[in-house]
Amino acid sequence: MAFKSGIPPSEITPESVYLKRRDFMKGSVLATAALAGVPLHAAAMDLKPLDYRKASTSSPAGYFTDESQTPFDDIARYNNFYEFGLDKRDPAKYADRLQTRPWTVAIEGEVDRPGTYDLDELLKGVTLEERVYRLRCVEAWSMVVPWVGFPLSALLSRFGPTSRAKYVAFETLYAPEQMPGQKSLFSTIAWPYVEGLRMDEAMHPLTILAVGLYGRVLPNQNGAPLRLVVPWKYGFKSIKSIVKIRLQETQPPTTWSQSAPEEYGFYANVNPFVDHPRWSQRYERRLPSSLLGVNRIPTQLFNGYADQVAPLYRDMDLSRFY
């Protein structure tokens, strides 16, 4: 059933998760009003500045939006990262336990040069650039984030994908001693978190691996040290804290499509014309927002990136391949 006047709190997150955590609307208020507490500014968090190429209005189509950027505090405090807990504030509270160095990434499957590589070695010689992207959560809230990263295609090409590489599978770190949500009795997720893209999606120039935001190293709660960003898809596709990338011939399983296949499909393209079974996707709540000042805006097809990515899905039924 679509709710035209707003989204009930019980329909803001997957039902199995919602029933085991605090009321979402309370979290919504705290995501804005409670920011008056101790700030989480990047400098205060001792996040090191990055050497990167600044985005501008002359950047290629889609790399930059002049919409108001979501303040750093909102981005750092308001997260779905269930490895650290079910509440939106849990990642900022507990992610300091995550050890991001040393960090290795396994490259596996249909590549000429598989192996396990130290992240710092992988990043040597990489040109980092800012991409100011919209981020649209399946829960119908959104942000505008100035990521710092590099094209996923640049990384994959270094390892020589074979002709059999049709999909790319990703895996998040599994470390319950660092990620308390992975050992929570309230978790309904089969860990580790996994995601996947079709090869042409992975190689698209809008698809990046992010290592920072707002010009500084990526905060732990936002997916440090390496996360995927696919701006035309719902946020759960942009897997965080990646430790494995596997190229393969068959479509990989993904965490939410396994947990609730009738609600979360493999493609997860932002689409205002295909509602979630429990809420409408026609509108979104752009952060910062509050109960007293809801910043409600229409959702755009492919999150506003249709000109760049619609050809990837030509002749596909987007209500079937959701």
Tell me the pLDDT tens digit for each residue of 272-282: 999 999 999 99
Q: Using 50, 70 and 90 to split pLDDT, how confident is the model at 39?
A: low
The answer on pLDDT for 68 being more than 70 is yes
Q: Has residue 292 been placed in a domain?
A: yes
Identify the CATH number of the domain in which residue 115 sits: 3.90.420.10
Q: What is the mean pLDDT of residues 131-138?
A: 98
Of 165, 163, 131, the C-alpha closest to 149 is: 131
| pLDDT at 90 (0 to 100) | 97
Q: Tell me the C-alpha distance between 170 and 129, whole Å.
A: 22
pTM for the full model? 0.89
Amino acid present at 132 = V
Q: What is the mean pLDDT of residues 171-193?
A: 95
Amino acid present at 233 = K
Q: Has residue 319 been placed in a domain?
A: no
Q: Has residue 84 been placed in a domain?
A: yes
Q: Has residue 238 been placed in a domain?
A: yes
Residue 74 in tokens: 């909102």
Amino acid present at 4 = K
Q: Tell me the C-alpha distance between 212 and 46, whole Å.
A: 13
The answer on pLDDT for 139 being more than 80 is yes
Q: Is the dihedral of CA 264, 267, 272, 274 positive or negative?
A: negative
183 DSSP 8-state letter: G
- Tally the residues of the chain: 322
Q: Has residue 296 been placed in a domain?
A: yes
Counting the structural domains of the chain, the total is 1
Q: Has residue 3 been placed in a domain?
A: no
76, 122, 201, 204 from 106: Cα distances, Å: 27, 11, 20, 21
Q: Has residue 2 been placed in a domain?
A: no
16 DSSP 8-state letter: H
Domain of residue 75 covers 9-313
Q: Has residue 178 been placed in a domain?
A: yes
Helix (H) or strand (E) holding 199: helix 199-202
